[in-house]
Amino acid sequence: MIPVLLIVVPLLSGLAAFFIKQEKAVKSWALFSTVITLVVSLLGLTVLNKAANLHADAEWLTALGSRFTVGMDGMGQVLCLLTAVAFPLILVATWNSSYKNAHNFYAFMLLSQTGLMGVFLAYDALLFYFFWELALIPAYFLCSQWGGEKRIAVTFKFFIYTFIGSLLMLVGIIYLYLHTPDQSFALESFYKATLTNKEQGWIFWLFFIAFAIKMPVFPFHTWQPDTYEQSPTAVTMVLSGVMVKMGLFGVIRWLVPVLPLATWLNGDTVALLSVIGMIYASLIAMQQDDLKRLIAYSSIAHMGLMCMAIFVTSPQGMQGVMIQMFNHGINIIGMWIVVELIERQMKTRKMSELGGLAQQAPGLAILLVIVALANVALPLTNAFIGEFLLFTGVFNSSVSKMGPVFAACGGITIILSAVYTLNMIQKVFFGNTNTLTGTMKDIRFNERLVLGVLVIVILVIGVYPRPFLELTQGTVDTILSRMIIKHPS
């Protein structure tokens, strides 16, 4: 019931939005729809939190053995909540932006929410693939139509990249499907697929490349900074806050438990790639002058850490990934909102041209500093909980012998992230004002509201993460039990 609503509400309201030609009206309509989605998702977490409400199943392609099976476990609930929270926040934060052909813009936004929800809810591989692509198409249109100067070429690169990944995954899905005992696309049947070690090995890479492009993990990350830079900020928030989680989610739901042996065998290789990516991205982030690119590279570093923790499997690490997926989404959306505010008023994102904003906009400065500190994973912020679990997990891993090395190298990136984040705060908010930044005004009510909500979430999770940890415990246990069964001792 709940999962179906989460897909249907944004889908129908998105299709309807194509026909609401007035900008104000369609804006309100989109906000209304996303709030409804949020309410539904919150109801699913609280009042209606029963197994019967959280799963739905219907006939779809019977001849092929694919069914419309949707459901939420702990991880699904967390990510659906993230999607449901992110969209209204994004819409409120960018309320003052005006778009040409606004009805198309908001319709595509809602459709991309549909795709994201579907990805997080699908329990059937073909359905998962459908939604995986459906999330991409609206993003393609959003970026190419409302993006920056170089948008068409950049978005095209992004699209082709992810499309090749998806097709590789499709081959993997088909192969697994043909090797299931009952010729079915259901996740349960995928668990039972009989494969030799060699087959597991190459299917692992087919899946992993698709997910790695989405996350993105080094060396598949080259589309990401350009796309983040060129997209309109609202879309960048969707891409970086929610859409990249599709990659991590895919790995946790469709790769690790389905191909445990290959995960175990290739784990160190992937973790090594992640570590290289983390350090590399952090070093580049330190050199950036453009705020958007800085955040883009910082995001690569953070995603790398989560990817590493999944593949250096351990209970704490898994738990850390679950909560950090949510935290990363919240924090990065906060960062983008600040960038958007600065860019809209100053017409520049170059740190070298900014300075002294704290004097002009104290409210903005306070909120930014909290969000930025969360990005550095300072204690009391949400990211501290997540990253602490991640590092403990990596360090203590019984699966990988390289755990401490990975943890140490990853630890360096925490220091680096402090370097570039604090450097950014210093350059943008402190120092002397120049002629440009002297005109800066403080933030308006709606922006204050959104950032305020984000800061509250950051602090609450930072102090009291227990509900989240309990929520995802079930998923972690299931996945690890699948790993241990196949774990060659």
Partner 1 sequence: MNAIVISAIWGVVMMFSGIFSKNNAVIRGTALTGLALLIVVNVMEMGGTSLFKVNVHGMLYFDSFSLLFNTIAFGSTFLYTLLSGRDMDRVGRSTPDYFALIFFILCGVAISSSFNSLLMLFLGIEIMSIPLYILTGTDKRNLKSNEAALKYFLMGSFSTGIMLMGITLLYGAKGSFNLEAIALGTGELTPMVSAGLLLLLVAMGFKVSAAPFHFWTPDVYDGAPTVFTSFMATVIKSAGFIAFLRLFDDAFGEMHAQWQLVVAVVTAATLIIGNITAVFQQSVKRMLAYSSIAQAGFMLFALVALNELSRQGLIFYTAAYSVATIGIFAVLIKMKDYTFEGFNGLAKRQPVLAATAAIFLLSLAGIPGTAGFMAKFYMLAGAVANGHVLWLVIVGILCAAISIYYYFRVIQAMYFKEGDAQEMEVSGTFKALLVLLAAIVVVLGIFPQCLLDKLYYFF
Footprint on this chain of partner 1 (rule: CB under 8 A): 61-63, 129-130, 132-134, 137, 141, 144-145, 151-152, 156, 159-160, 163-164, 167-168, 170-171, 174-175, 177-178
Which is closer to partner 1, CB of 169 or CB of 337? 169
For the CB of residue 63, give the shortest distance to partner 1 in the complex, in Å: 6
Which is closer to partner 1, CB of 214 or CB of 302? 214
Please answer whether residues 275 and 410 qualify as being in contact, where contact means their C-beta atoms are separated by less than 8 angstroms: yes
Which is closer to partner 1, CB of 135 or CB of 338? 135
Extract the tokens encoding 438. Answer: 């002297």
Local structure of 110: helix, strand or coil = helix
Please answer whether residues 317 and 258 qualify as being in contact, where contact means their C-beta atoms are separated by less than 8 angstroms: no
For the CB of residue 169, give the shortest distance to partner 1 in the complex, in Å: 10
Which is closer to partner 1, CB of 4 or CB of 167? 167
Q: What is 66-106 written as a DSSP string? A: EEEEEE--HHHHHHHHHHHHHHHHHHHHTTT---TTHHHHH
For the CB of residue 371, give the shortest distance to partner 1 in the complex, in Å: 33
Please answer whether residues 297 and 284 qualify as being in contact, where contact means their C-beta atoms are separated by less than 8 angstroms: yes
Which is closer to partner 1, CB of 168 or CB of 471? 168
For the CB of residue 176, give the shortest distance to partner 1 in the complex, in Å: 10
Q: What is 425-446 written as a DSSP string? A: HHHHHSS---TTGGG-----HH
For the CB of residue 174, give the shortest distance to partner 1 in the complex, in Å: 5
Which is closer to partner 1, CB of 114 or CB of 274? 114
Please answer whether residues 210 and 165 qualify as being in contact, where contact means their C-beta atoms are separated by less than 8 angstroms: yes
Q: Give dist(CA 261, CA 344) in Å, integer.
A: 50
For the CB of residue 178, give the shortest distance to partner 1 in the complex, in Å: 5
Which is closer to partner 1, CB of 95 or CB of 175? 175
List C-alpha distances in Å: 381 to 241, 375, 397, 460, 465: 17, 9, 25, 8, 10
User: 396 burial class (0-12, 13-18, 19+ CB within 10 angstroms)?
Assistant: middle
The residues with which 67 forms a beta bridge, in sequence order, are 59
For the CB of residue 337, give the shortest distance to partner 1 in the complex, in Å: 26
Q: What is 217-271 written as a DSSP string? A: -TTS-THHHHHHHHS-HHHHHIIIIIITHHHHHHIIIIITTTSHHHHHHHHHHHH
